[in-house]
Amino acid sequence: MVTDRPIVVAGAGAIGCFVGGQLAAAGRRVALLVRPRVKTEIERFGLRLTDFDGSEQKLDAGRLALSEDPAIFHSAGIVLVTVKSADTADIADQIVRHAPQDAVIVLLQNGVGNVAVLNERLGGRRVLAGMVPFNVVAMGEGRFHRSSSGDIQIGEDASNTAAALSVPGLTMRASRDITSVQWGKLIINLNNALSALSDMPLVAQLADRDWRRLFADQMAEGLAALKAAGITPVSATPIPMSWTPSLLRLPDVIFNAILGRTMKIDPEARSSMWQDLKQGRTTEIDYLQGAVIALAEQNRVAVPLMRRIVALVKEAETSGKGSPALSPQQIRGGA
Ligand SMILES: NC(=O)C1=CN([C@@H]2O[C@H](COP(=O)(O)OP(=O)(O)OC[C@H]3O[C@@H](n4cnc5c(N)ncnc54)[C@H](OP(=O)(O)O)[C@@H]3O)[C@@H](O)[C@H]2O)C=CC1
Ligand SMILES: CC(C)(CO)C(=O)C(=O)O
């Protein structure tokens, strides 16, 4: 059975180390395909997984197999793809070369296009799309901090892979409509760019009505583009998608009371795009805003704010100086 074989994390960074670490802590056989710097970090410090609720797990490096060699896929039962979207095609080619034909491939990535890239390259293999609602920040010295709540969702399958991957501290739920769930997450991920441009932690940013109005305006453009394309996103949060822009525009006191009751986010949460700018890496903007802009173009929907945000993120990528720490007014600038 594939579930008796190791779970291999393909490209372990923030999400891969946290998810792989939770599975290993629960006694699953886990192997991480890692870059040399991540391997050295884990070998030196082990893994320390901290959570927004204050819980913590520590694992010695010996509890996981670590390698930078894709031959590590050779006996995989399940492969968790946790690379950034731009690396999906490369990792797919490595999976084709090294993983057994019957391994189940599960995508734990943002964006909606990765599943097609994998299906195209992995023709005939079992590929399940997924959606990770929570935030993980790589804090250094082997610490990976989950700073917000929510359960991972993956596509439903006959073998119930979601149940096979659920352990204490990490629940995966099966979804019958994972594509709509991924679109719902993409709409939330439109804020990754604002978080990256603001240089603010998510909690501080969401506590400020000017930032929320900007997020709501961008989200309204996104929802209009999806509607024109006939896509009905499923909310990735406990709040229905169609209410979210109005909710974001509410005064601080009311918004904070609703947020506090529906989601847990701690002060350390930062979007993955903020982490990319900080580390001088190319962001996933083309796979997030880019996917919506493509739909908007096909359906002649105007998305001027989103286009301006893409231009600002690209400028920040080119400058290589991390977040430009812009204000909402500076971002609105030419839109
Ligand atoms: N971080 C978060 O809070 C969340 C992230 N996500 C999504 O999850 C996905 C992963 O994000 P995240 O974990 O933050 O990304 P990271 O960049 O932290 O992790 C990806 C890791 O994969 C490595 N990698 C890429 N290709 C290979 C390869 N061929 N062999 C070995 N290692 C490789 C990267 O190394 P290198 O950088 O050197 O290429 C990097 O260390 C993204 O789609 C993101 O949008 C979703 C929800 C929340
Ligand atoms: C923060 C979060 C969970 C939502 O925007 C995310 O998906 C990311 O950082 O990429």
**Percent of the chain clearing pLDDT 70 (strictly above):** 99
Q: How much is the ipTM here?
A: 0.98
DSSP at 58: E
Candidate from 58-72, 74-88, 256-270, 302-316 with smallest mean pLDDT: 256-270
Closest-lying ligand to the alpha carbon of 85? 1
C-alpha span between 303 and 306 (Å, rounded): 5
Q: What is the pLDDT of residues 62-92, one digit of tens each?
A: 999 999 999 999 999 999 999 999 999 999 9
* 275-281 contacts at long range (C-beta below 8 A, 24 or more positions apart): 275/14, 275/137, 275/138, 276/84, 276/196, 277/196, 277/313, 277/316, 277/317, 277/322, 277/323, 278/322, 278/323, 280/320, 280/322, 281/84
All domains of the chain, ordered by start, with CATH? Answer: 2-176 (3.40.50.720), 179-329 (1.10.1040.10)
Report d(CA 112, CA 181) in Å as an integer. 10
- Mind listing the pLDDT tens digit for each residue in 208-224? 999 999 999 999 999 99
- Cα(179) to ligand 2 centroid in Å equals 17
In angstroms, rounded to a whole number, what is the distance separating the alpha carbons of residues 79 and 121?
15
For residue 274, the ligand closest to its alpha carbon is: 2
CA 109 to ligand 2 center in whole angstroms: 10
Give the atom of ligand 1 at the shortest distance from the alpha carbon of 109.
43
pLDDT at 180: 97
pTM over 0.90: yes
Q: Which residue is closest in CA terms to ligand 2's atom 10?
A: 272
